[in-house]
Amino acid sequence: MSENRILKSIRGTRDLLPGETEAWDVVEGVVREVMAIYQYREIRTPLFEETQLFARGIGEHTDIVSKEMYTFEDQGGRSLTLRPEGTAPVVRAYLEHKLGAQGTLDKFYYMGPMFRQEAPQKGRTRQFHQFGAEIIGTDAPEADAEIILLFLAVIDALGLDSWKLHIGSLGCRECRPAYREELVAFLKGVEDLLCEDCRGRIDTNPMRILDCKREGCRLATAKAPGRINFLDPECSRHFEAVKTLLEERSVPFTVDPRMVRGLDYYERTTFEVVNPDLGAQDAICGGGRYDGLAEMLGSVERVPGVGFAAGLERIMLALEAAGVELEFEPLCEVALVHAGEEARRRMFTLCDVLRRAGVACTMDLTERSVKAQMREANRREALIALITGEKDLQENNITVKNLVDGVEEKIPVEKIVPVILERLEAMDEAAIDEEPEDPSAGDDGAGPQQGEAA
Ligand code: HAM
């Protein structure tokens, strides 16, 4: 291999370039705003953890742990793993820092990269980004409903109104064995029709077989018993309560009697939100209740929890498919344009003074022509151009050109900063006046009804 080959990003990872990062910033800002309204606090856990955390939390026999983790040994011979998800780390941090004892620290959100070595395709990458939220310390059905409402509030605030919510229940540890027995007996009856992978899963992870995408397996398991029919009375009541709370907020949902999630820590409620515009990788959000996870991570006490995580790449794709236009702050307010050595020096100082006054400014640092500098100002969609030519220098003026209406005026150098601040404020107010009226103003709070009920 050539020493000098041009290095590229790793398959399944992607550079987010300027142009895209601004859109991501807007979306992340909306997430933060909604999280603040719902009173969730941000938690940032490390990007790598002890491998054990995920092996125990997510489960040894899941695809994530058995095939998809980026695991490596550090110099001390410890096995470490790049986090494939955020829930196990949050629960680890909750236990490690005894956050439960602090009373108010029970609702968390996070945002950041996760890593899974899956086959890359549209909407599926190896480094992807999630935002997620967790409520820890309660098994109240209101927590399950709140977590779902929270995610729907985020996508509503983003303007994404085509989604379908699927919910299910996996019951608890007590009612699981009866179901498992029934399912394994059913699967043994159709074993010959299953793919090799699924045959191997009958004893290790039989529920996963219900999620196999191969046509043969899907046909063979079409009549498999659903988990939902084996809930004990407590789990059944819990599930009914979650459904009622969603109905009271007019949230449309479909019950999926055999929903399978790719992580073993779930008990009781599970859910997924899909976006119909996304093709094969259509899940924009997944989540559920994990009442046994803390104990799997070594807690002597039972610490119930429920949460969701949403894929940012998929949300960006869904917003694009829906034609949602994100509102950006202007990137460039003022472009400083100069002709000649002395004008450039003067503008260099003024540029920094304006920036210190909070104005987003750009100026050419080379010796391009005034025409080229003006073209650049327009390309950046600057609101105002400040132009200094020979004559302006002699008269101690700067030409201020409003690039929106084309009006030009001469302003003495010493007045330029307050004048620019004033002009920008006026342009900002004019833009607000021109904004179309918010169609949701006067919302009766009836709830998130835009989702299409399946
Ligand atoms: P998950 O269903 O594995 O759940 O992932 C949540 C979301 O992350 C998916 O619905 C999808 O939008 C996105 N996602 C997952 N893998 C990829 C990928 N390879 N490329 C792009 N996007 C992806 C969890 O991670 C759980 N921790 C959710 C949770 C929180 N459960 C309880 N609390």
pLDDT tens per residue, range 74-118: 999 999 999 999 999 999 999 999 999 887 779 999 999 999 999
Q: How much is the pLDDT for 205?
A: 85
Q: How much is the pLDDT for 240?
A: 98
Adjacent-strand bridge partners of 167: 255, 271
Lowest-pLDDT range of 129-138, 278-287, 428-437: 428-437
- Which of 109, 110, 106 has the alpha carbon at shortest distance from 136? 106
How far is the centre of ligand 1, averaged over its atoms, from the C-alpha of 358 (Å)?
39
pLDDT above 90: residue 258: no
High-pLDDT (> 90) share of the chain, %: 82
Which atom of ligand 1 lies at the shortest distance from residue 307's CA? 33
Kindly report whether the global pTM for this prediction surpasses the value 0.85: yes
Q: How much is the pLDDT for 138?
A: 95
Mean pLDDT of the chain: 92
Alpha carbons 85 and 264: distance in angstroms, whole number: 13
Q: Ligand 1 pocket, 388 CB below 6 A?
A: no
φ, ψ for residue 181 (rounded to 5)?
-60, -45
Which atom of ligand 1 lies at the shortest distance from residue 284's CA? 12
Give the C-alpha distances (Å, rounded to integers) separating 100 from 31, 107, 116, 301, 392.
24, 10, 30, 11, 66
Q: How much is the pLDDT for 438?
A: 56
pLDDT above 80: residue 421: yes
Q: Ligand 1 pocket, 134 CB below 6 A?
A: yes
Q: Ligand 1 pocket, 309 CB below 6 A?
A: yes
pLDDT tens per residue, range 184-193: 999 999 999 9
Which atom of ligand 1 lies at the shortest distance from residue 285's CA? 10
- How many CA within 13 A on the CB side of residue 429? 6
Q: How much is the pLDDT for 262?
A: 87
Query: To test ligand 1's pocket by mutation, which of 314, 316, 319 has the most ligand atoms within 8 angstroms of CB?
Result: 314
pLDDT tens per residue, range 361-419: 999 998 899 999 999 999 999 999 999 988 888 999 999 999 999 999 999 999 999 99
Give me the mean pLDDT over the 417-429 stretch. Answer: 94
Q: How much is the pLDDT for 437?
A: 62
Give me the mean pLDDT over the 124-146 stretch. Answer: 97
Q: Ligand 1 pocket, 287 CB below 6 A?
A: yes
Query: To test ligand 1's pocket by mutation, which of 69, 85, 285 has the most ligand atoms within 8 angstroms of CB?
Result: 85
